[in-house]
Amino acid sequence: MRNDNIYKPCLMRIEKVTDEAPDVKTFRLKFIDDVQARNFDFKAGQFGEYSVMGEGESTFCIASPPTRKGYIECTFRKTGRVTSALANKEEGEIIGFRGPYGNRFPIEEWKGKNLLFVAGGIALPPMRCVIWNCLDLREDYKDITIVYGAKTVDDLIYKNELEEWNERPDVTLVTTVDPGGETPAWKGQIGFVPTILEKMELKAENTIAVVCGPPIMIKFTFPVLVKAEFKEADIFTTLENRMKCGFGKCGRCNVGSVYVCKDGPVFTYAQLKKLPAEY
Amino acid sequence: MDRVKQKARDLLDSNKVQVVIGYEEGTDGTARPVFIMDSKNIDKLIFNDRCYHNLAVYLTKVEVEKIGRVAVEASLNTLKGIVKLASEGQFVFEDIDILGVNRNGELYEFASLDEVIDYIDQHPVEYSPEEISLLRKIESMTREERWEYWQEEFSRCIRCYACRAACPNCYCDACIVDINQPQWISPTPDALGNLEWHIIRAMHLAGRCVNCGACAKACPVDIPLNILNLKLAEEISKNFGISEEFLLTNYPLAIYDPNDKENFIK
Amino acid sequence: MTPQNKLLKKECLPTFVETLVKGGKLLYAPTKENERIEFKLIENFSEIYLDYIQTTKSIKSIVFPPIEKLFEYVADKEHVEIKDVNLNTIPETIVFGAHPCDAASFKVLNAVFTWDCNDEFFLTRKDKTTVIGLSCKNHDDYCFCTSVDLNPGSTEGSDILLTRIENDNYLAEIMTEKGEAVYKLVKNLFEPAPQVDKNAFVTQLPKLFDLNDLRGKLSFEGLSWMQQSLRCLSCGTCAYVCPTCSCFDIQDIGNQTKGKRVRIWDTCALPQFTLHTSGHNPRHFQNERWRQRIMHKFSYEPERLHVYGCVGCGRCSRACPVNINILENLIEISGGNK
């Protein structure tokens, strides 16, 4: 009997729920099935389909690094039907997971280079995966700089980790909030991510840039990096088109002939420039 | 038709409108909607019995709004659609140029919304003998027979939403079937989902439908959806004693009057 | 296997069909009811209407149903149980009297459903389906299979292809092992095939554009997509009657404690298809969605899957409520009649 049901999710137990920001939560998930747990492997940048039975599936990246074994984490904002149902789940409850899908960040190719991570708002999760992946293999990389911005101080996610990165001598962390989003106690920058980036002394040589954020942030960040003489092939980002299946069949995530679920979600700026504006 | 074409040409040449929406010959002996943006193509315009599409449907589409000001070659049904949409605040009547056409393709010009309403009033809706006989046939069925009849008809539905797309009054940005918090109606093309969809759609159009029949003509699997609307229109005028003229600019199911005969409302 | 030709006399056709039905297979064939021609489940040969040009809906629903149950579940806070669909219960099915365009469509669907990973729902249905095709005697102005490198007598996708020849008898071309298995069930009905020029018995449909020309001219930015699609009402009719459109949605039916997850047909023509939760929509305007439809079929699928996503059946044009005729548009794009 044929039994490989590609639509069948693995069952995962919610080990830990972290409230990150208003309506934003992180789940730590563990496979219930030992065999599935043993066989599971993924790379930084890949994504999955997370589901609540009776509500449906939702697509987000795996936010924990593949270097941390035995669990995966996902971070999501409560917006649609599925994420609202997920947000109501508590520790100990079970959700569905299919994946990993998609391509990945080629971090092996980045060995010996400086890394510049630029993220905005709720787009930090895909980058958190690759940041921790690189930090766990710290000796492989040279300078690591993280620039992260959100609308308000409240909207910054992974606050504990931001603190940890801030304290690490081998990481340069710049955090910023949009003008008006600061609190009296705020010690970081004030301003939009591209503006903050422009003020920094960016060195493009031997540096890989990874940019994840809302479309408007990405749009204004690329020119700053290009002006700082980053090569287009050295600037990475992720696309977030709507998906259902995750493996090139349901037909909705394509940008021209490129399928975000199979050829992405990770693209270089050089690749993006060749794509039609359909994302 | 010459005067219709001339006026359309003038409107385009003087740049008073950027597009004329009318009818042209289709590829299969039918007529089809056409969008003319250059007056040199004005001779494509036709009008005859085959021009059944309710062109008012295009007036709320984002793709059309993007082009600019519109002139519409408007049959009686299209006029009704326009009046209904204007009365529901979907656009300002004066923002649209109307090239009214009567059955013979002769130009009718209207100076105001009231004139359009008068014109519509002078031309009461004429249902085809086929429509009426099907309606009466269904009315004469027992409840069980009727249930079976509609189940059978709806079973062919593929949920393509051509009925919704062809209807000038189905202009919601977020149709109830596309809303999933909560999921009011099942989007699945099965017996329950199809029944829910067609009943909800008929109810949403009760008292608003202009009975142009565009839904049924658009249906690729020939479900006589117009009969549902026709029946509801009859029920509305019977129960509320409302004239077609009143219906054009009002929505009786949303009007409250302390003198309503129903007690539940008091 | 080597294809073999046989003769099936017209008086044997009813026995042929009814033997298969009695043998326990589901048999779908074209029927005519109130001028509507559709494939339906058949019990008797008399229900079949073979003298048709095209059905409204294609045969794709046999291998790619409008709703496909992916699994059932029961759940509470601590436990979730997923119950697989037993694919063994999918019945052996015969499609009888499908024209070559329909028969060829399974190849396109197969390309999508086996791209990198296999969709066993589709594959099982396809494996259990035998296609007994029927060459076309007639065509109408919507047909254009010859322009997409098929033809009215093409055996592509048919396990057996029947062609009506002299005296209304049928030439049976047995093309595959599945076809041979059916043939063996009713072997006694067949006779040795005469020497015939099959081509003389199928309709002659001139080629109206060249696929390579078309593909060469297709361009994301450079074409009048808006002019072609302004009339479009944004319904899903074209995709749902299309034999090769295979886009789908995944939905849950039930509640959080009990229900099923299903796959249902979906279409790029509807704006919700690509709408992000944020409200952003990469294909907000209908001309962008129309472009996706054409580019997907004639550029992306050939590029990525090495198949064209069109078999020239013309259903989309016939069913379109506003007469968007794909042939007219394809001829226009490719630069006219060749």
The total number of structural domains in chain B stands at 2
Measured between beta carbons, the chain C residues lying within 8 angstroms of B34 are 231
**pLDDT surpassing 70 at residue B167:** yes
pLDDT value for B234: 85
On whether both A200 and A223 belong to a single domain, the answer is yes
On whether both A186 and A213 belong to a single domain, the answer is yes
Q: Beta A235-238 vs A207-212: how paired, if at all?
A: parallel
Measured between beta carbons, the chain C residues lying within 8 angstroms of B162 are 233, 235-237, 321
- Residue A17's beta-bridge partner residues? A27
pLDDT band at residue B248 under the 50/70/90 scheme: confident
| Distance, CA of A267 to chain centre | 13
pLDDT value for B265: 60
Residue A275 lies in a domain: no
- Residue B80: name the closest of B209, B214, B251 by CA: B209
Provide, rounded to the nearest whole percent, the portion of chain C with pLDDT above 90. 92
pLDDT 10s digits, C224-238: 898 899 999 999 999
- Cα separation, C57 vs A221, whole angstroms: 49
Measured between beta carbons, the chain C residues lying within 8 angstroms of A80 are 277
Answer positive or negative: Cα dihedral of B60, B61, B67, B72.
Answer: negative
Across B170-179, C238-247, C305-314, least confident range = B170-179
Name the E strands within chain A: 10-21, 24-31, 47-52, 56-61, 72-77, 94-101, 114-120, 144-150, 172-177, 189-190, 207-212, 235-238, 254-255, 258-259, 266-268
- The two three-digit tokens of residue B98, written as one number: 């109307």
Tell me how many degrees the CA angle C217-C273-B151 measures, rounded to the nearest 5. Answer: 115
- Residue C270: name the closest of C294, C244, C288, C297 by CA: C288
Measured between beta carbons, the chain A residues lying within 8 angstroms of B183 are 81
Q: Which H/E stretch holds residue A227?
A: helix A215-227
The total number of structural domains in chain A stands at 2
Please give the residue of chain C at the shortest CA–CA distance from B34. C231
Averaged pLDDT, C180-189: 94
Report the gap between the CA of C213 and the closest CA in chain B (Å).
23
Please indicate whether, in this complex, the C-beta atoms of C123 and A2 are within 8 angstroms of each other: yes
Average pLDDT in chain B:
91
On whether both B159 and B199 belong to a single domain, the answer is yes
- The two three-digit tokens of residue B162, written as one number: 């051509």
pLDDT value for C336: 62
Q: Is C122 on the interface with A (CB under 8 A)?
A: no
On whether both B134 and B241 belong to a single domain, the answer is yes
On whether both A94 and A169 belong to a single domain, the answer is no
Alpha carbon separation from C273 to B173, C235, C281 (Å, rounded): 14, 12, 9
Please give the residue of chain C at the shortest CA–CA distance from B54. C322
- The two three-digit tokens of residue B160, written as one number: 């393509």
pLDDT value for B181: 86
Averaged pLDDT, B8-19: 96
Measured between beta carbons, the chain A residues lying within 8 angstroms of C250 are 7, 56-57, 244-245, 250
Q: Which H/E stretch holds residue B11?
A: helix B2-13
Residue B263 lies in a domain: no
Touching A (3+ Cβ pairs <8 A), the chains are: B, C
- Coil, helix or strand at residue A127: helix
Please indicate whether, in this complex, the C-beta atoms of A251 and C274 are within 8 angstroms of each other: no
Chosen from B175, B186, B221 to mutate, greatest number of chain C CBs within 10 A: B221
Specify whether the CB–CB gap between C315 and C58 falls below 8 A. Answer: yes
Specify whether the CB–CB gap between C148 and C310 falls below 8 A. Answer: yes
Q: Among residues 169-208 of chain B, which lie with CB inside 8 Å of chain A?
A: 180-181, 183
Please give the residue of chain B at the shortest CA–CA distance from A84. B181
On whether both B23 and B60 belong to a single domain, the answer is yes
Largest CA distance in chain B: 61
Averaged pLDDT, C166-182: 95
On whether both B56 and B135 belong to a single domain, the answer is no
Please indicate whether, in this complex, the C-beta atoms of A56 and C250 are within 8 angstroms of each other: yes
pLDDT band at residue A239 under the 50/70/90 scheme: very high
On whether both A78 and A182 belong to a single domain, the answer is no
On whether both A158 and A193 belong to a single domain, the answer is yes
Specify whether the CB–CB gap between A240 and A252 falls below 8 A. Answer: no
- Coil, helix or strand at residue C53: coil
Give the structural domain span for A196: 107-238
- Cα separation, C107 vs C159, whole angstroms: 13
Measured between beta carbons, the chain A residues lying within 8 angstroms of B180 are 80-81
pLDDT band at residue A2 under the 50/70/90 scheme: very low
CB-nearest partner of B32 from C234, C286, C322: C322
- Residue B36's beta-bridge partner residues? B20
pLDDT value for C33: 92
pLDDT value for B244: 67
- Residue C191: name the closest of C176, C169, C161 by CA: C169
Tell me how many degrees the CA angle B42-B45-B49 measures, rounded to the nearest 5. Answer: 170
pLDDT 10s digits, C279-328: 899 999 999 999 999 999 999 999 999 999 999 999 999 999 999 999 99
Measured between beta carbons, the chain B residues lying within 8 angstroms of C325 are 26-28
- Cα separation, C12 vs A145, whole angstroms: 80
Report the gap between the CA of B36 and the closest CA in chain C (Å).
9
Provide, rounded to the nearest whole percent, the portion of chain A with pLDDT above 90. 94
Say yes or no: ipTM exceeds 0.90: yes
pLDDT value for B103: 86
Specify whether the CB–CB gap between A12 and A97 falls below 8 A. Answer: yes
Averaged pLDDT, C26-45: 95
Touching C (3+ Cβ pairs <8 A), the chains are: A, B
- Residue C81's beta-bridge partner residues? C74
- The two three-digit tokens of residue B254, written as one number: 């949303």
Higher pLDDT, B61 or B238: B61
- Binding-site residues on chain B for chain C (CB distance < 8 A): 26-28, 30, 32-35, 53, 57, 61-64, 66, 158-162, 164-166, 178, 186-190, 217-218, 220-222
Please give the residue of chain C at the shortest CA–CA distance from A263. C304
Please indicate whether, in this complex, the C-beta atoms of A54 and C85 are within 8 angstroms of each other: no
- Binding-site residues on chain A for chain B (CB distance < 8 A): 80-81, 84
Alpha carbon separation from C186 to C158, C180, C183 (Å, rounded): 18, 10, 5
Chosen from A81, A86, A242, A244 to mutate, greatest number of chain B CBs within 10 A: A81
Residue B97 lies in a domain: yes
Q: Beta C258-265 vs C93-98: how paired, if at all?
A: unpaired
Specify whether the CB–CB gap between A240 and C276 falls below 8 A. Answer: yes
Q: Which of B57, B88, B122 is the last residue of a domain?
A: B122
Q: Which residues contact C25 (CB under 8 A, 6 or more apart)?
A: C91, C92, C93, C94, C130
**pLDDT surpassing 70 at residue B176:** yes
On whether both B107 and B187 belong to a single domain, the answer is no
Chosen from A30, A245, A252 to mutate, greatest number of chain C CBs within 10 A: A252
Report the gap between the CA of B160 and the closest CA in chain C (Å).
4
Measured between beta carbons, the chain B residues lying within 8 angstroms of A81 are 180-181, 183
Tell me how many degrees the CA angle B79-B82-B88 measures, rounded to the nearest 5. Answer: 145
Nearest 5°: phi and psi at A18?
A: -120, 125
Question: In what order do the strands lie in the sheet containing C93-98?
Answer: C36-41, C26-33, C93-98, C129-134, C160-164, C170-174, C4-8, C190-192
Please give the residue of chain C at the shortest CA–CA distance from A6. C119
pLDDT band at residue B264 under the 50/70/90 scheme: low
On whether both A134 and A30 belong to a single domain, the answer is no
Averaged pLDDT, C106-115: 97
pLDDT value for B250: 76
Burial class (CB in 10 A: 0-12, 13-18, 19+), A39: exposed
Residue C33 identity: E
Report the gap between the CA of C144 and the closest CA in chain B (Å).
14
- Residue A235: name the closest of A248, A246, A222, A245 by CA: A222
On whether both B118 and B14 belong to a single domain, the answer is yes
- The two three-digit tokens of residue B205, written as one number: 């159009």
pLDDT value for C338: 41
Q: Which of B122, B153, B182 is the last residue of a domain?
A: B122
Tell me how many degrees the CA angle B242-B80-B15 measures, rounded to the nearest 5. Answer: 150
**Domain locations in chain C?**
4-334
**pLDDT surpassing 50 at residue A1:** no
Residue B260 lies in a domain: no
Specify whether the CB–CB gap between A48 and A104 falls below 8 A. Answer: no
Measured between beta carbons, the chain A residues lying within 8 angstroms of B186 are none
Q: Is C306 on the interface with A (CB under 8 A)?
A: no
Please give the residue of chain C at the shortest CA–CA distance from B215. C321
On whether both B115 and B144 belong to a single domain, the answer is no
Specify whether the CB–CB gap between B120 and B76 falls below 8 A. Answer: yes
Q: Beta A172-177 vs A144-150: how paired, if at all?
A: parallel
Burial class (CB in 10 A: 0-12, 13-18, 19+), C200: exposed
Extract long-range pairs of A161-167: CB within 8 Å, 24+ residues apart.
A161/A128, A165/A131
On whether both B114 and B8 belong to a single domain, the answer is yes
On whether both B100 and B133 belong to a single domain, the answer is no
Please indicate whether, in this complex, the C-beta atoms of C256 and A52 are within 8 angstroms of each other: yes
Give the structural domain span for B41: 2-122
Report the gap between the CA of A89 and the closest CA in chain B (Å).
17
Q: Among residues 188-247 of chain C, which lie with CB inside 8 Å of chain A?
A: 220-221, 246-247
**pLDDT surpassing 50 at residue A153:** yes
**pLDDT surpassing 80 at residue B258:** no
Residue with structure tokens 């018995």? C201
Please give the residue of chain B at the shortest CA–CA distance from C262. B188
On whether both B145 and B180 belong to a single domain, the answer is yes
**pLDDT surpassing 90 at residue C1:** no
- The two three-digit tokens of residue B104, written as one number: 């013979």
Residue with structure tokens 């198949």? C307
CB-nearest partner of A257 from C84, C288, C304: C304
Name the E strands within chain C: 4-8, 26-33, 36-41, 67-75, 80-84, 93-98, 129-134, 160-164, 170-174, 190-192, 248-254, 258-265
Q: Which of B100, B122, B144 is the last residue of a domain?
A: B122
On whether both A51 and A141 belong to a single domain, the answer is no
On whether both A59 and A139 belong to a single domain, the answer is no
pLDDT 10s digits, A101-135: 999 999 999 999 999 999 999 899 999 999 999 99
- Residue A31's beta-bridge partner residues? A12
Residue A254 lies in a domain: no
CATH of the domain at A56: 2.40.30.10
- Cα separation, B56 vs B167, whole angstroms: 9
Measured between beta carbons, the chain A residues lying within 8 angstroms of C305 are none
Please indicate whether, in this complex, the C-beta atoms of C272 and B178 are within 8 angstroms of each other: yes
Alpha carbon separation from A170 to A49, A148, A209, C102 (Å, rounded): 34, 17, 17, 63
Please give the residue of chain A at the shortest CA–CA distance from C271. A252
- Cα separation, C147 vs C330, whole angstroms: 10
pLDDT 10s digits, B177-187: 998 888 888 88
On whether both A68 and A185 belong to a single domain, the answer is no
**pLDDT surpassing 90 at residue B245:** no
Nearest 5°: phi and psi at A259?
A: -100, 120
On whether both B146 and B238 belong to a single domain, the answer is yes
Name the E strands within chain B: 19-25, 31-36, 70-74, 96-101, 107-108
CATH of the domain at A135: 3.40.50.80
On whether both A34 and A88 belong to a single domain, the answer is yes
- Binding-site residues on chain C for chain B (CB distance < 8 A): 34, 36, 56-57, 66-67, 141-142, 226-227, 229-231, 233-237, 239-241, 249, 251, 253, 262, 264-265, 267, 270, 272, 284-287, 317-319, 321-323, 325, 327-328
- Cα separation, A222 vs A208, whole angstroms: 13
CB-nearest partner of B160 from C236, C251, C253: C236
Please indicate whether, in this complex, the C-beta atoms of A8 and C256 are within 8 angstroms of each other: no
